[in-house]
């Protein structure tokens, strides 16, 4: 059984991945910005006895440092899932403010970087040695329709981050991948999205199991279909 760390685990795809991994017998370190308000996650922790809920804001260096101090376990699989989307519009979208850019880039790009760096010793001494980043098909420059600028740019950078981490961590035997979870019915994806959190989480976990040093650097969706950078 593995130890899996999942960021942004209090709702959406992160919560579903936490549920599935705890149900299959893994130990899960599940993070939330506000653990005291994470009702569904706390219930899951009480039900299964396999989930440790810890505070983490991925944009805040002090929070990342405190989380790293509290997290002494070896981590077989680090799932960098926490993310935000601001708005879908084009250049004229008033939601694309400098503050929105800061929040989206800090959360979706700097966040995975800061947490991966802080957790590297924990991943290094595990048997599993894997780091995965939730990017999006909206990252793909080959499929750029001209909108949702901060989110698309942030997820392109997240895929780039995964690719660079794969290269730097190759000599240490740590495999890294970037993933599109599908268009999923969550607060972010909306009620009209294609698939449930269960289908997405199940598919993603299968792809994380399949990740190896031979496939490190991959960018693919929850069914294993390659996504063009
Ligand atoms: N849903 C989709 O269709 C879709 C498609 C492509 C990619 N994705 C990606 O998949 C991942 C999960 O998406 P989702 O649909 O499950 O989103 P969601 O339902 O909106 O949940 C986002 C999670 O990220 C957490 N989070 C946000 N900012 C954070 C921060 N600064 N520090 C720590 N946690 C933070 C949230 O915590 P709070 O509750 O505290 O806000 C929440 O737990 C994201 O990276 C997203 O970009 C989703």
Instruction: Give the CATH number of the domain where residue 152 resides.
Output: 3.40.50.720
- Please give the tally of structural domains in the chain: 1
Q: What is the token pair recorded at 147? A: 């909108």
Residue 60 maps to a domain: yes
Catalytic residue among 88, 149, 151, 179: 151
Residue 184 near residue 223, CB atoms below 8 Å: no
Residue 108 maps to a domain: yes
pLDDT value at residue 78: 99
| pTM exceeding 0.85 | yes
Ligand 1 centroid to residue 154 C-alpha, Å: 13
Residue 107 Cβ inside 6 Å of ligand 1? The answer reads yes
Neighbours of 206 (CB within 10 A): 12
Half-sphere exposure (CA, 13 Å, Cβ side) for 141? 8
pLDDT value at residue 99: 98
pLDDT value at residue 92: 98
Of all protein residues, whose CA lies closest to atom 13 belonging to ligand 1? 13
Each of the 229 residues of the chain gets a pLDDT tens digit; together they read 899 999 999 999 999 999 999 999 999 999 999 999 999 999 999 999 999 999 999 999 999 999 999 999 999 999 999 999 999 999 999 999 999 999 999 999 999 999 999 999 999 999 999 999 999 999 999 999 999 999 999 999 999 999 999 999 999 999 999 999 999 999 999 999 999 999 999 999 999 999 999 999 999 999 999 999 9
CA separation for the pair 89, 189 (Å, rounded): 15
Residue 227 maps to a domain: no
pLDDT value at residue 186: 98
Residue 38 maps to a domain: yes
Residue 197 Cβ inside 6 Å of ligand 1? The answer reads no
Residue 81 Cβ inside 6 Å of ligand 1? The answer reads yes
pLDDT value at residue 11: 98
Residue 202 near residue 118, CB atoms below 8 Å: no
CA distances from 180 to 7, 35, 117, 214 (A): 16, 26, 22, 20
151 assigned to active site: yes
CA separation for the pair 173, 216 (Å, rounded): 10
CA separation for the pair 4, 1 (Å, rounded): 10
pLDDT value at residue 116: 98
Give the domain range for residue 177.
Answer: 3-221
């Amino acid at each position: 059984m593995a130890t899996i760390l999942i960021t942004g685990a209090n709702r959406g795809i992160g919560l579903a991945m936490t549920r599935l991994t705890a149900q299959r017998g893994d130990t899960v370190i599940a993070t939330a910005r506000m653990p005291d308000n994470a009702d569904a996650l706390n219930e899951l922790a009480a039900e299964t006895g396999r989930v440790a809920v810890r505070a983490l804001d991925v944009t805040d260096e002090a929070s990342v440092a405190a989380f790293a101090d509290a997290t002494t376990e070896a981590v077989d699989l680090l799932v960098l899932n926490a993310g935000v989307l601001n708005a879908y519009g084009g250049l004229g979208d008033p939601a694309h403010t400098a503050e929105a850019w800061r929040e989206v880039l800090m959360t979706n790009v700097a966040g995975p970087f800061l947490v991966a760096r802080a957790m590297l010793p924990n991943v290094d001494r595990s048997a599993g040695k894997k780091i995965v980043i939730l990017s999006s098909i909206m990252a793909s420059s080959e499929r750029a329709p001209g909108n949702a600028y901060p989110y698309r740019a942030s997820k392109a950078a997240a895929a780039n981050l995964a690719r660079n981490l794969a290269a730097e961590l190759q000599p240490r035997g740590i495999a890294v991948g970037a993933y599109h979870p599908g268009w999923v019915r969550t607060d972010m994806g909306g009620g009209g999205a294609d698939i449930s959190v269960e289908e997405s989480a199940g598919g993603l976990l299968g792809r994380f199991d399949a990740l190896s040093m031979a496939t490190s650097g991959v960018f693919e969706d929850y069914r294993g279909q390659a996504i063009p950078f």
